[in-house]
Amino acid sequence: MVKFFCEWTTLGTDTLMVRKRLGLMKTSLHDVRSPVTANDITGWVKLVFLAWCLVAAGTSPAKPMPIALPAAATGVEIQAALDGLPATGGEVILPAGTFEVSEPIVLSRDNLTLRGTGEKTILHLADNANCPVVILGEPVNAPSRTIRHLRVAGFFVDGNRAHQQRELWRLAGEGSEIRNNGLIVQSVSDSVVENVTCARCRSGGLVTTLGVQRLTVRNLTAFDNEFDGLACYLTSDSLFTGLNLHNNPCAGISLDLAFNHNIISNAILAANDLGIFMRASCENQFYDVTIRDCLHHGVFMAHAEAPRTECADNAFTNLAAANCGAAAFRVNNITCTNNVLIRARFEGNVHGGISQVQPDLLTVR
């Protein structure tokens, strides 16, 4: 069929578009020896486009079949299945069940997907494993390249922190700068994390770092992690939406080290120490974030004793903060400027709504 259409659209002796009608065509539709009507050209373009679509469909590589693992699979077998996918990528599917993980599950090639069935697919970190559970990107201290088009979805990460002894994966060498988070995304672009829960991890729940761009995180739950529910560093142009981050001993969300040009929306941050900690974060948009029952501030903005670490040009629309143990919104340094609150609602916070180290650092609308 494809061969037929290729021959059909060739201007040869057997073409259906005879030369008597089109004239002696040279190099373009405009370079003909005799007049051509608009209908002739439109029909010819449509025919060539149809042929191109059919050729593309006939010559593009077939999408590999997903690999479905049994409920008895181990973390080693999950990794082997990912590593065994073709160079073009593919998908590994996990059923409901508990999968014991003793080494990180790593997606370090383009176009890989790891998908479970929801919260009944549990990745449980083994006792004394002292490692991250899932890594998107190269599992090294300083990745040399950006990995693209990854997707993880539909599982529960249990970091089993009561039976882990340290925060860092390795004591020396590669991995010694990687913390034992539930899910790490590093040097990754154009990828998706969705319908994932991270709980009881030895460091943070989900952490993005080292040059993450255009990541979508959708429907993330994180609770009872050692530090933050969601922590983002060196991350830009990404979307975080549908967040439920609660009962983390540090921040629900921690943003630092060039967290710029991102969107956080539809988030509930409850019973964390801080709702949002921000430093070195600029030009971000926050929509419909609800913070409640924090031990201290709802939002805490700061900078470090270094240049370019301020929080500036961020906008919060429909931010709500209630029953926090300090202020709803604290601006702690005078370098944090041009931040805007739009239709904010604050109530029942011990130190009131807005607290600023200097007046008029925040614009309220």
Which domains does the chain possess?
Answer: 2-59 (no CATH), 67-364 (2.160.20.10)
pLDDT at 249: 98
Name the one residue in this structure whose structure tokens are 């191109």.
52
- Asked whether the beta carbons of 133 and 105 are under 8 A apart, the reply is yes
pLDDT digits (tens, 9 = 90+) for 108-124: 999 999 999 999 999 99
Does position 103 have pLDDT exceeding 50, yes or no? yes
| The token pair that represents 359 in the structure block | 């007046």
pLDDT exceeds 80 at position 47: no
pLDDT of residue 61: 52
How many angstroms separate the CA atoms of 108 and 90, rounded? 12
Q: What is the pLDDT of residue 134?
A: 99
Task: Please say if the pLDDT value at position 291 is more than 70.
Answer: yes
Q: How many CB atoms lie within 10 A of CB 179?
A: 21
Answer whether residue 36 shows pLDDT above 90.
Answer: no
Q: Quick one: pLDDT at residue 55?
A: 42
SS3 44: helix
The more confidently predicted of residues 28 and 277 is 277
Report the residue count for the chain. 365
How large is the average pLDDT for residues 1-28? 36
Q: What is the DSSP string of 157-207?
A: EE--GGG---SBS-SSSTTTT-B--SEEEESEEEEEEEEEEEES-SS-SEE
- Give the contacts of 276 (CB within 8 A, at least 6 positions apart): 251, 252, 253, 254, 255, 269, 289, 291, 298, 299, 300
Residue 340, pLDDT above cutoff 60: yes
What average pLDDT does this structure show over 186-191?
98
Residue 53: per-residue pLDDT: 45
Give the tokens for residue 249: 């001993």
Mean pLDDT confidence for 19-35: 35
At 305, is the pLDDT very low, low, confident or very high (cuts 50, 70, 90)? confident
Look at residue 326 and give its three-state secondary structure.
Answer: coil
Alpha helices, DSSP H, located in the chain: 2-8, 19-22, 38-59, 75-83
Q: Which residues contact 173 (CB under 8 A, 6 or more apart)?
A: none
Among 7-21, 159-173, 221-235, the range scoring the smallest mean pLDDT is: 7-21
pLDDT for the residue numbered 22: 32
Give the pLDDT band of residue 342 (cuts 50, 70, 90).
very high
* pLDDT tens digits, one per residue of 60-85: 456 789 999 999 999 999 999 999 99
